[in-house]
């Protein structure tokens, strides 16, 4: 039987690494699995973010990959063990130790506590020009990238609360915001819709879909071709930024049936804590957060998870 570790951390974004730093400093000798599921690079959503200007402590901005390299170095310097392996399967049946299987050979690891920090992924429209211009005017996070489009014309796609919230946020920064939705009415809550519709800077466009983002040849966004889904008419709208806000998918496939999840698939945690429905299993970062979704809030909940795990282990007879 394999050695039983104190704590295994699954996921290597800001939440996972902050959990690792705190757990290592509490002498828990944490083992982190940094997966390669997303585009073959560990480190989470910041690995596909160019400039980060809202992470406190970096007054002159930092790139997403540089920030994640710093997080990772800090975890290792504090004594965390980081293994680059995808987790294939977990057994989180109540009653520790828990089991995690990783890598091509499905190697088994056991731990008395587990911290889940597998994050979430933005949903994309999945058209070629969108992918080609990601990070060059196409973004899935207004709070992260809105400031690059100060006093410019931008477009946002989506009809849920995120799209409304991002449209309001962008309206405070940009010249105009064209809000494109594929149906006749928004899905968002009435309050959010009312706020958006009363905002003179936001122009809603219904029954429409993005046909193409211009201009791939130039390597920057100069406009968007919109297709009216009722008439099939295509019109070009001049914008310098396109924000896709059509939802996120939490990376919870591994945990379905083992932990309580919200209806939207995110892990349920007890309010004000990182505790999941299984004692000894903690969740942090975007895998349990569909409201804030920021690197700094992910880091904050990673810290909470390490402290909760440390206290839980202490209550089980120390470590
Ligand atoms: P939602 O799933 O609620 O909305 C997604 C929107 O994107 C829908 O309007 C949907 O259209 C549209 N959409 C989906 N796929 C496509 C596509 N391929 N092309 C074009 N449009 C598409 O996601 P949100 O991120 O907005 O919200 C997720 C959850 O988080 C919700 O429960 C929401 O209430 C909550 N939330 C709460 C906030 C708050 O309380 N402050 C803030 C933000 C989110 P359609 O309507 O036709 O399906």
CA distances from 111 to 16, 36, 90, 92, 245 (A): 16, 21, 11, 10, 37
Please write the tens of the pLDDT for every residue from 230-242. Answer: 999 999 999 999 9
Q: Are residues 238 and 267 in the same domain?
A: no
Regarding the beta carbon of 295 and ligand 1, being less than 6 Å apart is answered no
Specify the number of domains making up the chain. Answer: 2
Please write the tens of the pLDDT for every residue from 124-143. Answer: 999 999 999 998 999 998 88
Strands annotated E in the chain: 4-10, 31-34, 51-52, 62-63, 81-84, 87-91, 98-102, 107-116, 120-122, 138-139, 153-157, 176-180, 202-205, 208-214, 223-228, 234-237, 241-244, 248-250, 281-283
Regarding the beta carbon of 2 and ligand 1, being less than 6 Å apart is answered no
Q: Are residues 206 and 110 in the same domain?
A: no
The answer to whether 46 and 68 have CB atoms below 8 angstroms apart is: yes
Q: Give the range of the structural domain holding residue 164, as residue numbers without chain letter.
A: 124-244
Which of residues 244, 259, 291 is at a domain's end? 244
Q: Are residues 283 and 221 in the same domain?
A: no
- Predicted confidence at residue 105, as pLDDT, reads 93
Looking at residues 34-53, what average pLDDT do you find?
A: 71
Q: Are residues 145 and 173 in the same domain?
A: yes
Q: Are residues 236 and 293 in the same domain?
A: no
This prediction has a pTM of 0.78
- pLDDT of residue 297 exceeding 80, the answer is yes
Please write the tens of the pLDDT for every residue from 147-203. Answer: 999 999 999 999 998 899 899 999 999 999 999 999 999 999 999 999 999 999 999
Q: Are residues 100 and 188 in the same domain?
A: no
Q: Among 122, 123, 141, 159, say which to mutate for ligand 1: greatest number of ligand atoms within 8 Å of CB.
A: 159
- Predicted confidence at residue 29, as pLDDT, reads 97
- pLDDT of residue 39 exceeding 60, the answer is no
Q: Are residues 114 and 221 in the same domain?
A: no
- Grouping H, G, I as helix, E, B as strand and the rest as coil, residue 220 is coil
- pLDDT of residue 50 exceeding 70, the answer is no
* Alpha carbon distance 184, 205 (integer Å): 9
Q: Are residues 16 and 92 in the same domain?
A: yes
Q: How far is the CA of 5 from the centre of ligand 1 (A)?
A: 39
Please write the tens of the pLDDT for every residue from 70-115. Answer: 999 999 999 999 999 999 999 999 998 999 999 989 999 999 999 9
CATH number at residue 237: 3.50.50.60
Which of residues 225, 244, 263 is at a domain's end? 244
Q: How far is the CA of 11 from the centre of ligand 1 (A)?
A: 25
Q: For 182-212, give the DSSP string.
A: SSSS--S-HHHHHHHHT-TTEEEE-SEEEEE
Band of residue 64 on the pLDDT scale cut at 50, 70, 90: confident
- Predicted confidence at residue 77, as pLDDT, reads 98
Q: Among 162, 227, 292, 293, say which to mutate for ligand 1: greatest number of ligand atoms within 8 Å of CB.
A: 162
Regarding the beta carbon of 208 and ligand 1, being less than 6 Å apart is answered no
Element (H, E) at 35: none
Q: Are residues 221 and 266 in the same domain?
A: no
Q: Are residues 100 and 189 in the same domain?
A: no
Q: How far is the CA of 26 from the centre of ligand 1 (A)?
A: 39
Q: Are residues 107 and 183 in the same domain?
A: no
Band of residue 43 on the pLDDT scale cut at 50, 70, 90: confident
- Predicted confidence at residue 317, as pLDDT, reads 82
Q: Are residues 199 and 153 in the same domain?
A: yes
Band of residue 1 on the pLDDT scale cut at 50, 70, 90: low
Looking at residues 114-122, what average pLDDT do you find?
A: 94
- pLDDT above 90 covers what percent of the chain? 84
């Amino acid at each position: 039987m394999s050695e039983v570790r104190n704590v295994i951390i699954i996921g290597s974004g800001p939440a996972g690494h902050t959990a690792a730093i705190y757990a290592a400093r509490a002498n828990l000798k944490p083992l982190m699995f940094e997966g390669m599921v997303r585009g073959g690079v560990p480190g989470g959503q910041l690995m596909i973010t160019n400039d980060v200007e809202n992470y406190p402590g970096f007054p002159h901005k930092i790139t997403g990959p540089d920030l994640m390299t710093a997080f990772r170095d800090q975890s290792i310097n504090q004594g965390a063990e980081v293994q680059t392996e995808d987790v294939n399967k977990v057994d989180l049946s109540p009653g520790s130790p828990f089991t995690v299987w990783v890598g091509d050979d499905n190697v088994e690891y056991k731990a008395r506590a587990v911290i889940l920090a597998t994050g979430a992924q933005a949903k994309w429209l999945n058209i070629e020009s969108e992918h080609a211009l990601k990070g060059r005017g196409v973004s899935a996070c207004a709070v992260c990238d809105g400031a690059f489009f100060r006093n410019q014309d931008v477009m946002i796609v989506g009809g849920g609360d995120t799209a409304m919230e991002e449209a309001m946020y962008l309206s405070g920064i940009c010249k105009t915001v064209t809000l494109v939705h594929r149906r006749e009415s928004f899905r968002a809550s009435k309050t959010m819709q009312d706020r958006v519709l009363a905002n003179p800077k936001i122009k809603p466009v219904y029954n429409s879909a993005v046909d193409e983002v211009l201009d791939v040849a130039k390597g920057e966004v100069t406009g968007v071709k919109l297709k009216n889904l009722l008439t099939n008419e295509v019109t070009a709208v001049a914008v310098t930024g396109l924000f896709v806000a059509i939802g996120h998918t939490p990376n919870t496939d591994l945990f379905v049936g083992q932990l309580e999840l919200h209806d939207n698939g995110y892990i349920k945690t007890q309010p004000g804590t990182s505790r999941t429905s299984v004692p000894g299993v903690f969740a942090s970062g975007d895998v349990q957060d569909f409201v804030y979704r920021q690197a700094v809030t992910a880091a904050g909940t990673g810290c909470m998870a390490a402290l909760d795990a440390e206290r839980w282990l202490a209550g089980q007879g120390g470590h």
